[in-house]
């Protein structure tokens, strides 16, 4: 379904956005950590160098006391610190090896630049210059093992590498649930919209009352349905009125023509013209009648009295009534095949369907042909088929013949309005069923009515 792919697309872009933002956030976090760590270390080392100068600046010439004081105050070994005091390349004091053995003080080269930070293996080092009373430039290097900070940075990176996918997964699942919840009312509306038919035109889309955009859309669609409903009713009332108005003058015309036709002494040409006019008047009368039926059906939206109808019995009755017509045309009507099949519906309307289908079958079947009616039940659907051995229907017009006024050009003497099948299909649909036409392989056609079967 389309909307599902919209859901997935939203989820995909949401995930992609989170991935990019999460990646950026992680990179910035690591960057910021490095920056602040450098700053803190620099400040710490600077303060320690100042302290070393404050303590040892005055006793530079007494190495024993210098060592004793600095070792006591800073315990560089235990604290993994590095302190070195040098003058012109000669070392006055250098701290012992750290307990964590992260560096060897003997491997740390003397600084090239007088001041600034440097990193020697895992040692962070700051060099500061102090001026002794005698004018000598004293270099104090203060350092500490960077192992702790490295470990913290490593842990931070691992936490982000694990946390990011977990966060993405959680956001994806959460996003999916949210999107589904947001779409749920749309699904309900789609199902309701699919269920709206001409049989229940007053049904409207359900509104959740949440007041969101979907609700607004539902309200707009409902208003549109109201307008369509009223336009449709207006149109069908108009054709009902027009058909009704046509009936009376048409029957007067027909009566008058019949009256004139009874006059003796009319020439054969006049008689032929009168017969033709009469045929047309009859056709117009039938058309008006059919139009009236159609518009009435539309206006009551197929809500008729529903009773239990035996389709077998209805078929037998209709076949008996049309047998004279078939005899006249020398078409053989066979007894219906199959068992009694029950449906719930309007008997009169269902009979109209059968009359139309069997009448058509007789009409479009040449002399010597056969018309067969069969009944069956398949998967709780009653099926009635009217099959003939007539002229058949071109495959490309099988749908068109159900359109109002659509007729395939037919032979002489075949009259009709092109409304019969359209009415029949409307009746079937109003009963929750279908009417389909088929062209038979060996010539002829068959029409199948399918209706919900009654147990």
Name which of 254 and 407 has its Cβ closer to ligand ADP.
407
Q: Give the whole-angstrom CA distance, residue 344 versus residue 226.
A: 30
Secondary structure element (H or E) that encloses residue 342, with its range: strand 342-345
Helices (H), 57-146: 63-74, 76-79
Q: What is the DSSP letter of 105?
A: G
Name which of 163 and 443 has its Cβ closer to ligand ADP.
443
Name which of 126 and 362 has its Cβ closer to ligand ADP.
362
Q: Which residues of 26-48 are buried (b: 16+ CB within 10 A; e: fewer)?
A: beeeeeeeeeebeeebeeebeeb
**Quick one: CA dihedral 24, 30, 33, 39, positive or negative?**
negative
The tokens 């450098």 sit on which residue? 38
Give the footprint of ligand ADP on this chain (CB under 6 A): 356, 360-361, 364, 388, 390-391, 393, 401, 406-408, 410, 416-422, 445
Closest approach, Cβ 282 to ligand ADP, in A, equals 12
Q: 129 exposed, middle or buried (CB, 10 Å; 0-12, 13-18, 19+)? A: middle
Name which of 86 and 422 has its Cβ closer to ligand ADP.
422
Name which of 205 and 375 has its Cβ closer to ligand ADP.
375
Q: What is the DSSP letter of 337?
A: B
- C-alpha distances out from residue 355 to 155, 258, 410, 417, Å: 86, 27, 20, 15
Name which of 421 and 427 has its Cβ closer to ligand ADP.
421
Name which of 382 and 421 has its Cβ closer to ligand ADP.
421
Q: How far apart are the first and last CA of the chain?
A: 35
Closest approach, Cβ 399 to ligand ADP, in A, equals 11
- The residue number whose beta carbon is nearest to ligand ADP equals 416
Closest approach, Cβ 218 to ligand ADP, in A, equals 38
Closest approach, Cβ 243 to ligand ADP, in A, equals 15
Nearest one of 226, 232, 277 to 250, comparing CA atoms: 277
Closest approach, Cβ 357 to ligand ADP, in A, equals 7
Name which of 124 and 388 has its Cβ closer to ligand ADP.
388
Name which of 181 and 409 has its Cβ closer to ligand ADP.
409
Q: Give the whole-angstrom CA distance, residue 285 versus residue 293.
A: 12
Rounded (10°) CA dihedral 72, 75, 76, 80: 180
Grouping H, G, I as helix, E, B as strand and the rest as coil, residue 365 is: coil
Residues 6+ apart with CB under 8 A from 106: none
């Amino acid at each position: 379904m389309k909307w599902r792919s919209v859901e997935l697309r939203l989820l995909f872009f949401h995930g992609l956005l989170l991935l990019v933002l999460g990646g950026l956030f992680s990179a910035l976090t690591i960057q910021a950590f490095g920056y602040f760590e450098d700053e803190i270390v620099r400040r710490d080392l600077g303060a320690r160098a100042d302290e070393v100068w404050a303590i040892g600046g005055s006793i530079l010439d007494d190495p024993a006391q210098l060592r004793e004081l600095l070792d006591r105050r800073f315990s560089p070994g235990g604290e993994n610190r590095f302190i070195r005091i040098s003058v012109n390349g000669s070392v006055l004091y250098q701290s012992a090896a750290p307990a964590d053995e992260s560096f060897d003080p003997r491997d740390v080269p003397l600084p090239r630049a007088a001041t600034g930070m440097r990193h020697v293996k895992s040692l962070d080092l700051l060099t500061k210059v102090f001026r002794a009373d005698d004018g000598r430039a004293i270099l104090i290097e203060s350092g500490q093992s960077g192992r702790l900070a490295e470990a913290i940075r490593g842990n931070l990176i691992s936490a982000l590498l694990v946390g990011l996918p977990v966060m993405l997964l959680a956001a994806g699942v959460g996003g999916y649930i949210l999107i589904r919840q947001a779409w749920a009312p749309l699904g309900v509306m789609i199902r309701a919209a699919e269920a709206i038919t001409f049989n229940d035109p007053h049904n409207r889309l359900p509104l959740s009352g949440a007041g969101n955009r979907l609700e607004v859309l539902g309200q707009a669609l409902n208003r549109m349905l109201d307008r369509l409903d009223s336009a449709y009713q207006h149109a069908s009332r108009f054709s009902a009125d027009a058909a009704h108005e046509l009936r009376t003058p048409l029957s007067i015309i027909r009566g008058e023509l019949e009256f004139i036709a009874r006059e003796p002494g009319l020439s054969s040409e006049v008689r032929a013209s009168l017969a033709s006019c009469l045929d047309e008047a009859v056709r117009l009368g039938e058309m008006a009648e059919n139009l009236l039926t159609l518009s009435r059906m539309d206006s009551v939206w197929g809500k008729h009295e529903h009773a239990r109808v035996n389709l077998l019995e209805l078929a037998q009755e209709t076949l008996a009534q049309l047998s004279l017509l078939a005899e006249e045309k020398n078409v053989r009507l066979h007894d219906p095949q199959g068992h009694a099949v029950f449906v719930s519906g309007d008997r009169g309307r269902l009979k109209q369907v059968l009359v139309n289908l069997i009448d058509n079958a007789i009409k479009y079947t040449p002399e010597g042909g056969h018309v067969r009616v069969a009944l069956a039940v398949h998967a709780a659907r009653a099926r009635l088929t009217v099959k003939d051995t007539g002229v058949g229907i071109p495959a490309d017009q099988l749908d068109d013949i159900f359109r109002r006024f659509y007729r395939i050009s037919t032979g002489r003497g075949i009259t009709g309005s092109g409304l019969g099948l359209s009415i029949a299909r409307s009746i079937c649909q109003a009963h929750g069923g279908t009417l389909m036409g088929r062209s038979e392989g060996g010539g002829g056609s068959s029409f199948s009515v399918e209706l919900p079967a009654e147990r």
